[in-house]
Structure formats: C-alpha cells, structure tokens
Amino acid sequence: MQLNLQGKVAIITGATQGIGRATAELFAAEGASVVIVARGRERLDAVVAGIGQAGGKALGVQADMSKAEDCARIVPAALAAFGRVDILVNNAGTSNTGAFESVTDATWQSDFDLKLFGAVRLIRQVIPEMRKQGGGRIINITNIGAKQPRAKSMPTTVTRAAGLAMTKALSKEFAPDKILVNTVCIGLIRAGQHETKAAKAGRDVEDIYADMGKEIPLGRVGFAEEVANVIVFLGSDAASYVTGTSINLDGGTSGVL
C-alpha cells in the first residue's frame, strides 16, 4: 500500500507522549514533515531530536491548546518552517471525569477549552491553507465514551461527543474542497497516566494493564502505535474516499459502531 506522504506536512497536537508521539514518529518515518505541539519544552526537544536522528523532519512548537493566543502561533510556525499544511491531528486532551455534581463550572470550561475550542481554532486556521493546495486531512481523536457514555464520565464524554458532531458537520461542509475529516474513537490505550497511577499505588503497571484487559474482548489494552497506524492511514492517499467516519479503536469494547 502506498501512503504517498513524502512532501506532506502534518501538525500533531499533544505529541510528546503516547498516541501523539507515536503518530508523529510514524508520519515522519513515512516521509512527512511533522510539527509537534505540546506544553513542555523539554519533551518537545527530545521528540524532535529523536525524529531527526531517525532521518525525519520535525519542528516543535510549545503551546497550550486551551489558550487562543498559543493556538494562533502554531500554523504560522508550520508555514514558516515547511511552507504548507496537509494534515492536522487534533490529539491534545486528558481523561477528565467525575460524578456530575462534583464537576465545577471551571472544570467544564477547561475541558471545552482544551478539547473542543483548541481543535476549532486550529481547524479554522488550516482550512484556507488546505483549500489553496487542493485538499487536506483533519483527524480528530475522540473516545468511545462519546458514543456510549457511562455514569460519572463527564465532562470528557460530552466534549468528545461534541468532537464527533463537529467531525461529521465539517466533513460535509468541506468535501467540495477535498478536505477529508474523520475521527478515531479510542478505548483503553497504554499511556503515561497509567504509569503514574501504578507508581502512586505501588503496583507494577503491567498488573494494572492486565486487570484493565479483562474488560476488553481482545483481552488486552491497546498500544499507542496501533492507534498511530490508523491515524496515519487516514492522513494518507490510501484513505482518499474516507470522510465523515468514526473508527472505534478499542479492542471490541464499544457496544455501538
């Protein structure tokens, strides 16, 4: 399968660990130049250096996706470095959940600012650039709870559901411009937050993953690289007739398509 990513430029937010990092590294390995966005300078520099050592091209932009002024710097930096933007992966976000009555206005607002408005602001900037060059790809990372929310799962399931609605609406609005918009709905994926949880509990993280895997039909927690494979496919020419679609990447957990 030919992905044809040479000469393409991809922006990936939340890109210094987990799914974002794996995605940036895979795009770079397939020939794309990558712009990685995250809040921490030290981790940004480490990922950029690693991609460079592997023969790829990367630019790190330090930004907080919940802040409009930070979002405004990302696309101009990509254009200054690489001259174009072909792919946007909106991956920044955290799993922020709690009992409904315990979730404050401030928590609701911060979740919308990070997960929804951060994506809105970047999409607004990349659309004109993608239109100029005859097309592009936007991939929004959401989760399966957006389709099938559990009790005590807010605000994350609500903000992610908004991401699903935005994906579908944008896919229809920008199809004439050959800008394809899709979402990957993730389930349980290995991540740094689980390692932190294990350390606090004095447990081996593999024991935690084993327990989590008992609730998954495939019997295990997914790897960030498995999510990256799907994201990079959606960003490539191989997915040229895929738009307005959500892909569950959850080992079969979700009860809905």
Sign of the dihedral through C-alpha 67, 177, 226, 28: negative
Domain ranges of the chain: 9-187+223-249, 192-221
Q: What is the pTM of this model?
A: 0.96
Q: Residues near 255 by Cβ (< 8 Å), separated by ≥ 6?
A: 148
* Per-residue pLDDT tens digits of the chain, which is 257 residues long: 789 899 999 999 999 999 999 999 999 999 999 999 999 999 999 999 999 999 999 999 999 999 999 999 999 999 999 999 999 999 998 888 999 999 999 999 999 999 999 999 999 999 999 999 999 999 999 999 999 999 999 999 999 999 999 999 999 999 999 999 999 999 999 987 778 888 888 899 999 999 999 999 999 999 999 999 999 999 999 999 999 999 999 999 999 99
- The DSSP element (H or E) to which 141 belongs, if any, is strand 136-143
* β-strand partners of 143: 186
Give CA–CA dist 219/197, Å, rounded.
21
- Cβ count near 112 (within 10 Å): 17
* β-strand partners of 247: 184
Q: 152 with 100: CB under 8 angstroms?
A: yes
Query: Number of C-alpha atoms within 13 angstroms, CB side, residue 185?
Result: 29
Q: Which of 183, 196, 189, 251 is nearest to 225 (CA)?
A: 189
CATH no. for 9-187+223-249: 3.40.50.720
